[in-house]
Amino acid sequence: MIASTIKHRVKSFPEIQRENPNRLFVFAESRSGSTWLINTLASHRDIGLLDEVINPDYAKTLNFGAKADNQSTPEAALQKIENQISRLHGKYKGCKILFPQSIRFIDFYEFVLNYRNAFFIILTRKNSIRAEISGLIANEHARWHLVEKMEKQQISVDPAFLYERLQWRKHSNEFCISMLETYCNHILHIEYNELFSNMEQTLGKISAFLAISPAGYHSSTEIKSNPFPLTELISNYDECLDFFKDKPAYLPSFINDSSQE
C-alpha cells in the first residue's frame, strides 16, 4: 500500500473569524427576490450589503481582483470577500451569494468553517420552474431587474435542457443549505411567497433575527418580472408539458401554475 502524504488543509483565518458576529450573508436561489431583499435590507442603518461579490463579473465593478496580477501577494477568496464587505457601514456587513456561485467560485467548506458564527438568511423559491423560466427570459433579453411594467416576453426552451437546469438548481441548493445547517449557528429561512405576501412581517422577522430595530427600511422599487402564466411565457408550452408528464416532482408546477408564485 502506498500512503499518500498529500493532505488538503482548510485554511483558518483568525481575523475573519473575529468578525463573524458582525457578518451577514444572504444565500439565495436566482430569481427568488434576492435583489429586492438585499437592497431593502441595505437601506437600514444597521446593515451594509453588497450584491454578488464572488461573481467575477460583479466583482470587477468593486476592484475585487485588484491584486490578481501581483503574484508576490496572493489573496485568498475569503480575504477578497472581506476586503469588499469591510468597507461597508453598519453593525452587520455582508453580501448576497447565489447557491451555484458558492460551489463554482469558493471553497465552500473553507467558507463555512471560517464564517460559522456569522448570520445567514437563506432565501428559496418553491416554484423552481417559474424561477428558471424567468431567468432564461432575463438572460435572453439582457434585462434582469425591472422598476416599471414592460411588455410580455416569451421564450422557446428545450424541455430536456430545462430539466437539467432544474436538477442543477435542486442539487446546488440542497448541498449549500445542508452545509450551512450543519456547520453554521445563526440561520433564518425565508421563502419567496413569504417574502412578498407580507413584506412588513418578513422584515420584522429578519429584524428580530438580527436584534435590530424593525424601523428604518426603505423598500426597493423593483417589481415582479414576468407576471404572466407559463402558458404565455413559454412559446412551446405543450411540448414542455408533455416532456414533464413523467416527472412528478415538477409536473404540478406546470398544471397548477400561478403567476403569483
CATH assignment at residue 59: 3.40.50
Cα–Cα distance for residue pair 92/85, rounded to 1 Å: 10
In a domain, 43, yes or no: yes
Q: What are the Cα distances from residue 235, in Å, to 226, 241, 249, 254?
A: 14, 12, 22, 14
Does this model's pTM top 0.95? My answer is no
Number of domains in the chain: 1
Evaluate whether residue 7 is within a structural domain.
no
Q: Is 26 domain-assigned?
A: yes
Burial class from Cβ neighbours inside 10 Å (0-12, 13-18, 19+) for residue 255 reads exposed
Rounded CA separation 111/117 (Å): 11
Asked whether residue 3 is assigned to any structural domain, the reply reads no
Side chain identity, residue 54: I
Tally the residues of the chain.
261
By DSSP bridging, strand 186-191 and strand 119-124 are parallel
Here the cell at position 151 is 411588455
**125/130 Cα distance (integer angstroms):** 9
- Domain assignment present for residue 246? The answer is yes
Reading the chain (261 residues) residue by residue, the pLDDT tens digits are 455 554 557 889 999 999 999 999 999 998 898 999 999 999 999 999 999 888 877 766 666 544 444 444 457 889 999 999 999 999 999 999 999 999 899 999 999 999 999 999 999 999 899 999 988 888 877 666 665 666 677 889 999 999 999 999 999 999 999 999 999 999 999 999 898 888 899 999 999 999 999 998 988 766 666 778 899 899 999 999 999 999 999 998 888 876 556
**Domain membership flag for residue 54:** yes
pLDDT of the residue at 63: 60
Starting from the edge strand earliest in sequence, which strands make up the sheet with 119-124, in order?
Answer: 47-52, 92-98, 23-28, 119-124, 186-191
- As given in the structure block, the three cell numbers for residue 96 are 448576497
Is residue 1 in a domain? no
Give the pLDDT score at 254. Answer: 85
Helix count and strand count (H, E) for the chain: 13, 5
Range of the domain at 27: 14-255
32 contacts 224 by C-beta, under 8 angstroms: no
So what's the pLDDT on residue 143? 67
> Does a structural domain hold residue 261?
no
Task: Select from 123, 11, 110, 113 the least CA-distant residue to 54.
Answer: 110
- What count of Cα atoms within 13 Å lies in the side-chain half-sphere of residue 206? 29
Q: Specify burial of residue 74 (Cβ count, 10 A radius: 0-12, 13-18, 19+).
A: exposed
CA atoms of 164 and 166, how far apart (whole Å): 5
